[in-house]
Amino acid sequence: MKKLILILTLLFSTDIFAFQARSKLLTKLLTDILHKEDITIYSNDTKLKLKTIKDCQEAEAFVVNSISEIPTHCQSNKKIIFLTNYKEYKKTKDAIGVLFWQKGRPNLILNEKKIKELSIKLPEEFAPYIE
């Protein structure tokens, strides 16, 4: 029976569901960072089902693979930048965090220095991810 349940679980564990869960986590994180329900996000990551806007100048947060993906005229903005690639995250000091998948698991790292710099207060539940 355990296997039957597993198979049924598998049927519903498609990429769509995984990315939706990831998007929800990210949206919650950004909402908590900005202390707002309706946030404007600029992102070129089509897999993430985020509510995004096209005009980067209007964006309050950026969710991109690397800093270079942010249009040049918006790069100077001191906005919330969230990356989806760990190696790119390691290269920059501007990102507030990174959410990436490794070995089929989601990994979240939040930049302690950046959080302090932007005077962001996060809920206790994010404490294990801050470094």
Partner 1 sequence: MLSSNYIKYFLITSITILTFFVFLFFIYYQDTLENVIIGIEDNSFKQIESLSIKIEKRLEEILNSDIESPLEIDKNTARKAQKVLELFSSQIYPFVYAVAKDNEGKFRYLFDGSFEKQERGEFLQKFDPESGIWDKAYEYKKSQKKVQADVQGVRTTFLYPVVHKNETKFIIAFDFSMKEHRILEDAFSPIRFFLILILVSLLITLILAYAMAFLFYKQKKKTAIDSLTNLPNRYYLSEIAHRIRLNEVSVALLDLDHFKQVNDKYGHLAGDKALKKISSILAQSLRAHDILIRYGGEEFLIFIAHNGDFSVPEKVLRRILEKTREEKIQISKNNFINITISIGLNPHPHQSRSLKAAIEIADKMLYLAKVNGRNRIEIFKDSPEKSKIYHAEDITNMINAGKLIAFFQPIADSKTGKIVKYEALARVMDEGTIHLPIEFLPYIKSTTAYRLMSKVILTKAFDMIKKHKTAISVNFDVENFLDVTIYETIYDVIYERRDLASMLTLELLEDKEIKNMTEILERIEALQKLGVKIAIDDFGAGYSNFEYLLSIRPDFLKIDGSIIRMLNINPHAKEVIKAILQMCINLNIKVIAEFVSDEEKSDELRKMGIDYLQGFFIGKPSPKLIEANEWN
Q: Which residues bind partner 1 (CB under 8 A)?
A: 1-4, 6-7, 9-10, 13-15, 18, 86, 102-109, 128-129, 131
Determine the Cα–Cα distance for residues 121 and 46; give it in Å rounded to an integer: 29
CB of 122 to partner 1, least distance (A): 16
CB of 74 to partner 1, least distance (A): 28
Q: Which residue has the tokens 């990429």?
A: 15
Determine the Cα–Cα distance for residues 33 and 37; give it in Å rounded to an integer: 10
CB of 41 to partner 1, least distance (A): 23
Give the single-character DSSP code of 16: H
Q: Which is nearer to partner 1, 68 or 107 (CB)?
A: 107
Residue 43 φ/ψ, nearest 5 degrees: -155, 145
Q: Which is nearer to partner 1, 20 or 57 (CB)?
A: 20
